[in-house]
Structure 1
Amino acid sequence: MGIHDIIEGKKQWRAHMARVKALPPDYQIVYKEMQKYLFKIGPIDLLGGSLLPGILDFFEEGVAAGKGVLELIGDDVAAFCDDLVKDSRTYADIYQESISGKHDTAEK
C-alpha cells in the first residue's frame, strides 16, 4: 500500500463520515453504534468492502422515505448487525481456527 492509496483511503473515509453527519441525530447514533459493534466483531472485509457504505445507503433511503431508524432495523441493533455479517469470515473465526489447529497438533 503506497502513500497515494493511504491518502485516497482517507479522502474516501472523510467523505463517508460527512454523509453520516448529514443524517438525522437518531440515525447517526445508531450508525455509530453499529460501526463500533462491527469493528469489535471484525468482519475481514469491513473496511475494504461495501458493508458500511451499504448501511449508509440504506439509512439515507430510510430518511428519504420518512422512516425512523428503528423502523428500518428493529430494536436490536446487534442482531441486525449479526444478520448482516452472518456469512462473513471474521478475525475471531481466524483466531478460533488457529487455536483449534494448535490444539489438534498438541493432541497428536
Structure 2
Amino acid sequence: MNPWETLTGSDLTREWKAFEARAEALPPDFREAWGQVTSHLFAYGSFTGRNLMPILDGALGLLEETAADGQRVEAVLGDDIAGFCAALAGGEGARSHRDRWREQLNRTVARKLSRLGG
C-alpha cells in the first residue's frame, strides 16, 4: 500500500466495495446478517476503521462458507449477533470507542474537580 492510499483512505474504500460485492452474492438472510455484523462491529473500530478490515474479511468469509455448505446463518452466528461481534473484536466485554471516550471524560472531570477542591 502506498502512502497516498493510506492518507486518503482509498485502499479502505476499495476493500469495502469488494466486501459489498462479495456480500451481494450471499443469500438474502446472510446479506441481512452481514449488515447486522458490520453495524455491530463499527463500534469497535479505530478512527479510520482500518483495524476492522481483517475482522470483517474473516466474518464475511465465515458467512460465505456457511452459505456454501447449505447451513443456516444461525448455525454460525447464533442468536446473539452483538455478542458474536464483541467476541470477534477482542473477546466478550471488549471495550468500544464509546467506553474509551467515557473513561477519558471521567478522568478529565475527576482531574478538574480535584483542582477545584484542593
Is the pair's TM-score, using the shorter chain for normalization, greater than 0.5? yes
Deviates more, 1:27-36 or 1:45-54: 45-54
Q: Paired residue for 1:30? A: 33
CA displacement at 1:86 relative to structure 2: 4.2
Task: State the distance in 1 between where 2:37 and 2:88 align.
Answer: 11
* Cα pair 1:43 1:89 within 8 Å, conserved: no
SS class of match (1:59): helix
Q: Paired residue for 1:15? A: 18
Q: Structure 1's 106 and 56: CA in aligned 2 closer, same or farther, altered over 3 A?
A: same
Structure 1 residues 10-52: Cα deviation after superposition (integer angstroms, max 9, x where no partner): 222211110011111110001101211222x233288313111
Task: Give the greater-gyration-radius structure (CA).
Answer: 2
AA of the residue aligned to 2:112: A
Unaligned runs of 5+ in 2: none
Identity of aligned residues (%): 27
RMSD over equivalenced CA pairs, Å? 2.2
TM-score, with length taken from structure 1: 0.80
TM-score, with length taken from structure 2: 0.74
Q: Paired residue for 2:50? A: 48
AA of the residue aligned to 1:51: I
Q: What does 1:58-69 correspond to in 2, within 5 Å?
A: 58-69=62-73
Unaligned runs of 5+ in 1: none
| Greater relative contact order structure (CA < 8 Å, 6+ sep) | 1
Task: State the distance in 2 between where 1:74 and 1:45 align.
Answer: 29
Structure 1 residues 60-87: Cα deviation after superposition (integer angstroms, max 9, x where no partner): 1112222110111111212212222244
Task: State the distance in 1 between where 2:67 and 2:23 align.
Answer: 12
* Cα pair 1:44 1:90 within 8 Å, conserved: no
Q: Paired residue for 1:74? A: 78
Count how many residue pairs are aligned between Structure 1 and Structure 2. Answer: 106
